[in-house]
Amino acid sequence: MAALKGITVDQAADFMRMVAPKPRTQKVKLEKARGRVLAEDVLATRDQPPFNASAMDGYAVVDLISDETLQNEPLTVVGDSLAGRRFKGDLIAGEALRIFTGAPVPEAANAVIIQENVDQQGDLIFVQPDGWASKSDNIRPRGGDFKAGDVLLEAGQILDPWSLSLVAAAGYDKVIVRKKPVVAILSNGDELVQVGGKPKADQIFESGSHALIGLIEQWGAKAKFIGAAGDSIKAIHKALKNVKADLIVTIGGASVGDYDLVKPALEQMGLQIDFASINIKPGKPTWLGSLEGGQRVLGLPGNPASAMVCAQLFLRPYIEAALGRYEPRSLLAAKLTAAIPANGPRESWLRAVMSHDDKGQLKVTALRDQDSSLVTVFAQSNALLRRLADAPSSKAGDLVQILPLERAQ
Ligand SMILES: Nc1nc2c(c(=O)[nH]1)N[C@H]1C(S)=C(S)[C@@H](COP(=O)(O)OP(=O)(O)OC[C@H]3O[C@@H](n4cnc5c(N)ncnc54)[C@H](O)[C@@H]3O)O[C@H]1N2
Ligand code: MOO
């Protein structure tokens, strides 16, 4: 494909989905499966519960319930049924079975009377006058939760704690999930010092990778941090030469400055550019290319907001596609709390704070300073506010589109 310059946000996101590798699968133990994407439907192999089960502690009885004349007669307790150990035998009219929550109910029994409604004297029980249960009361029918053959979870679903419990209830100790795509990250710039190091007067701490690694893992991929390379073709080349990953992401050095050396370094590795920039603010210099042999590289700009907005909009769709999840961006409508000016020619994604008003309606405030270098502003925001290219100004109360960010994970 010819290199595309200044493509739209939607074109770039679609392109990222298109070049993502086909989903691969692996089997994992259930205790390692949280957050993974199911690759196959999970089918129930047996009924749950596998027998009619008592919902209460009490006495299982045979149908006397409709026959009020017999309700004053005592019943003879003939045994007990415990959760995990059933009563071997059945009941007939006039008999009762001591039974506990979760225990199998014999075939002939059709109600469980809770023990609070019963007086027991030796082997006999007397049901209090208003203590009779109605038919089937307090019995959970076999298969009431799910039946053998039911599709419990579908391929493509993310295994969260609740769905893991369902997989366990169905008896599986392993599940087939989509393999995590591997995303390698290289930061670049002589000015960057890793946390723990001592920055010189003209240096800053490297921070971008810390957000990026977390986001990549939150989105279901495996992040591999290569480190920070200085501004030299040799250092960048060396850092990326033997990297094995589905995608390499570089942070910084994406622009046109004399020391933006990522692309020149990769040219030695046969770099072919897919697109060289995107019509977006922040993040215009974001680019994509592939090396000799097909290794794809996504170049994110160094400014923290540019890197994170573009990771959200372009890296996430790549990861989702590699996990077999084709999810449209889920934008919500929110009411502006304060006016925003007309937009320029680049589609903008403003760092913003969303919340609900007292009527439960979503509202949003664009943060005041949208300079893409500000880590504090990004750290405060919980949504991105989308402004189409050349959008006119909007006033307080207007509805705008927002993309919620999944914070606190
Ligand atoms: N003449 C032009 N200059 C610039 C243009 C342009 O079109 N013409 N584009 C601007 C835009 S837009 C952006 S965004 C930046 C992106 O530039 P780079 O990707 O080359 O980023 P750097 O110059 O390497 O860094 C920018 C900024 O971010 C800091 N940084 C870099 N990496 C990290 C990191 N891992 N952690 C924390 N901070 C990082 C770096 O120190 C710089 O301050 O270019 C504009 N210039
Ligand atoms: O587009 Mo740059 O990303 O303005 O900061």
Residues 129 and 58 in one domain: yes
In a domain, 2, yes or no: no
**Is 114 strand, coil or helix?**
strand
Residues 297 and 201 in one domain: yes
Q: Is the peptide bond before 301 cis (omega within 30 degrees of 0)?
A: no
Residues 6+ apart with CB under 8 A from 127: 71, 75, 113, 117, 118
Q: What's the gap in Å between 298 CA and the centre of ligand 1?
A: 15
Report pLDDT for 68: 65
Percent of the chain scoring above 90 in pLDDT: 82
Residue nearest to atom 25 of ligand 1 (CA): 302
Mind listing the pLDDT tens digit for each residue in 160-186? 999 999 999 999 999 999 999 999 999
Q: What's the gap in Å between 260 CA and the centre of ligand 1?
A: 9
Mind listing the pLDDT tens digit for each residue in 350-388? 999 999 999 999 999 999 999 999 999 999 999 999 999
Residue nearest to atom 44 of ligand 1 (CA): 255
DSSP state of 40: S
Residue 275: CATH number of its domain:
3.40.980.10
Percent of the chain scoring above 70 in pLDDT: 95
Residue 337: CATH number of its domain:
2.40.340.10
- Does ligand 2 have an atom closer than 6 angstroms to the CB of 372? yes
**67 with 132: CB under 8 angstroms?**
no
Residues 132 and 223 in one domain: no
Position 2 pLDDT exceeds 60: no
Position 69 pLDDT exceeds 70: no
- Does ligand 2 have an atom closer than 6 angstroms to the CB of 282? yes
Q: Which ligand is nearest to the CA of 205?
A: 1
Mind listing the pLDDT tens digit for each residue in 244-264? 999 999 999 888 777 778 998
Q: Which two tokens stand for residue 279?
A: 């019509």
Q: Can you tell me which atom of ligand 2 is nearest the CA of 301? A: 3
ipTM reported for the complex, 2 dp: 0.96
Q: Torsion angle, CA of 138/142/144/148, rounded to 10 degrees?
A: 170
Residues 116 and 206 in one domain: no
Q: What's the gap in Å between 252 CA and the centre of ligand 1?
A: 6
Pairing of strands 75-81, 58-61: unpaired
Residue 84: CATH number of its domain:
2.170.190.11
- Does ligand 2 have an atom closer than 6 angstroms to the CB of 303? yes
Q: What's the gap in Å between 176 CA and the centre of ligand 2?
A: 41
- Does ligand 2 have an atom closer than 6 angstroms to the CB of 284? yes
Residues 174 and 198 in one domain: no
Position 273 pLDDT exceeds 60: yes
Most informative mutation of 284, 309, 310, 374 for ligand 2 (most atoms within 8 A of CB): 284
Residues 186 and 315 in one domain: yes
Average pLDDT score, the chain: 92
Q: Which ligand is nearest to the CA of 278?
A: 2
In a domain, 409, yes or no: no
Q: Is the peptide bond before 106 cis (omega within 30 degrees of 0)?
A: no
- Does ligand 2 have an atom closer than 6 angstroms to the CB of 23? no
- Does ligand 2 have an atom closer than 6 angstroms to the CB of 283? yes
**367 with 350: CB under 8 angstroms?**
yes
Domain boundary pick from 299, 322, 345: 322
Position 156 pLDDT exceeds 90: yes
Separation between Cα atoms, residue 74 and residue 119, nearest integer Å: 10
Residues 167 and 188 in one domain: no
Q: What's the gap in Å between 349 CA and the centre of ligand 1?
A: 17
Indicate the burial class of 265 (C-beta count within 10 angstroms; 0-12, 13-18, 19 or more): buried
Q: Which two tokens stand for residue 268?
A: 């030695």
Position 231 pLDDT exceeds 90: no
Position 271 pLDDT exceeds 60: yes
Report pLDDT for 389: 95
Q: What's the gap in Å between 356 CA and the centre of ligand 2?
A: 30
Mind listing the pLDDT tens digit for each residue in 95-120? 999 999 999 999 999 899 999 999 99
DSSP state of 394: B
Residues with CB under 6 A from ligand 1: 187, 189, 191-192, 204, 206-209, 251-257, 260, 282, 284-285, 301-304, 306, 372-373
Indicate the burial class of 392 (C-beta count within 10 angstroms; 0-12, 13-18, 19 or more): exposed
Whole-angstrom CA distances from 270 to 45, 215, 241 are 52, 29, 11
Q: What's the gap in Å between 409 CA and the centre of ligand 1?
A: 28
Pairing of strands 95-99, 58-61: antiparallel
Most informative mutation of 281, 300, 370 for ligand 2 (most atoms within 8 A of CB): 281
In a domain, 4, yes or no: no
- Which residue range(s) make up the domain with 361? 332-404
Position 5 pLDDT exceeds 90: no
Q: What's the gap in Å between 296 CA and the centre of ligand 2?
A: 23
What's the whole-model pTM score?
Answer: 0.91
* Band (340; pLDDT cuts 50, 70, 90): very high
**Region of poorest pLDDT, from 1-15, 301-315, 323-337:** 1-15
- Sign of torsion, CA 82 84 88 92? positive
Mind listing the pLDDT tens digit for each residue in 24-48? 999 999 999 999 999 999 999 999 9
Strands (E), 197-309: 204-205, 222-229, 247-251, 272-275, 280-281, 287-290, 296-300
Report pLDDT for 66: 60
Which tops the pLDDT comparison, 163 or 232? 163
